[in-house]
Amino acid sequence: MLLFLSACKDKEEVVVSADTPEPKEEQSEEIEEEIKESLPYKAPFTGVGSEVENDRRPVLVTINNHPHARPQSGISDADIVYELLAEGSVTRLLALFQSELPEEIGPVRSSRDYFIDIAKGLDAFYVAHGYSPEAKAMLQNGVVDHINGMQYDGILFWRSKDRVAPHNSYISGENIVAGMEKVKADPVMSQSPPFVFYDSAENVTIETIANTIDVRYGSNESFHHTYTYDPNTFTYSRQSGGETTIDRKTGEEVAVSNILFFETPHRTIDTVGRQEIELNGGKAYIFQAGAMREIEWANLDGVLTPIEGGQPAKLVPGRTWIHVIPTKPGLSQSVTFTP
């Protein structure tokens, strides 16, 4: 009897040991689930995961893109950069900061009415130095919360000694926050943008391969930009006028996850070459993960948004550059790419 009970006991122990892997599997699934949930928040303009929610109001800064203003400061930290014509074939950048506010931003340049329209749609705090007549009227009428170097030069803005005006006006993230307080602007984001994101670049469907992209604004080679895809990082480097686009303050190369091209009508309105630009929607290209797709874009409650299949097109998590291109000559003539 003792031998029988002993044998039964041994069998029971064997059965128990055979069942022990199950708790390990459950524990492994729990760990995986914890990892997935470890970054519960996504940045609204980049889709990058975060441990804490960031409800900082977006800031939109007009940055000089003249060759004498390059390299610019702060652009490697921008969530989104818009490039639009200011006059003739000269473009300016609108850098949107929400994930972070860098130590130095600039050179800051003057506003245009369609820059203010973009800021209004995003409910962004708008920063510029100077304005066109149309933009001045909009700012004076309080279309957006803003500060301008025309009123705060030497106070919130400073002049770099190694560059000449108008290529030497700078501002810091700290002074932007001080400016928001000065004009009593709400520092908290009031709305989320309509952007949607893939979980990762590996989820992008590859149809048309495009590893190198060229965009030209007119015949001026200073505004000929090239993007080159790096499959190891799923990002694109950028060159302007043959020079690599870097951040002047940090020396960091700009790395872009999404490059968008929005086609829309432009019209020259004065002898200076200033533009009137429609921001209603039209044809678009999207480049991401080394691939290209023809899509559309729309103005959704003031936000310029890529559209695919009637819905906002998915973006790869990371930084985005948006080029606004005149319908004449149009996307097919202004933007080229190679595998």
- Tens of pLDDT, residue by residue over 165-209, are 999 999 999 999 999 999 999 999 999 999 999 999 999 999 999
Assigned domain for 32 exists: no
**Tens-digit pLDDT profile for residues 85-119:** 999 899 999 999 999 999 999 999 999 999 999 99
Q: Which residue reads 């044998």 in tokens?
A: 7
Query: pLDDT tens digit string along 279-291?
Result: 999 999 999 999 9
Rounded Cα–Cα distance for residues 197 and 40 (Å): 14
Q: What is the mean pLDDT of the chain?
A: 91
In the block, residue with structure tokens 């560059």: 163
Domain membership of residue 130 as a residue range? 50-182
Do 211 and 147 share a domain, yes or no? no
Residues 233 and 328 in one domain: yes
Closest by alpha carbon to 193, among 99, 76, 71?
99
The verdict on residue 12 lying in a domain is no
- Asked if 71 and 248 touch (Cβ cutoff 8 Å), the reply is yes
pLDDT at 213 over 90: yes
93/161 same-domain check: yes
Q: What is the pLDDT of residue 38?
A: 73
Q: Residue 242: pLDDT above 70?
A: yes
- pLDDT digits 0-9 by tens, 23-44: 444 554 554 445 445 788 999 9
* Domain co-membership, 323 together with 234: yes
- pLDDT > 80? residue 161: yes
Structurally, the chain folds into a number of domains equal to 2
DSSP for residue 67: G
Q: What is the pLDDT of residue 3?
A: 40
146-149 contacts, C-beta under 8 A, 24 or more apart: 146/119, 146/183, 147/176, 147/179, 147/180, 147/182, 147/183, 148/111, 149/108
Least confident of 20-24, 201-205, 220-224, 238-242: 20-24
Percent of the chain with pLDDT over 70: 89
pLDDT at residue 230 tops 90: yes
Are 127 and 74 contained in the same domain? yes
Q: Does pLDDT of 6 surpass 90?
A: no
pLDDT for the residue 275: 96
| Residues 160 and 85 both lie in one domain | yes
- Considering the domain boundaries, does residue 30 fall inside one? no
Query: Residue 15: its pLDDT value, please?
Result: 42
**pLDDT by residue (tens digit) across 49-91?**
999 999 999 999 999 999 999 999 999 999 999 999 999 899 9
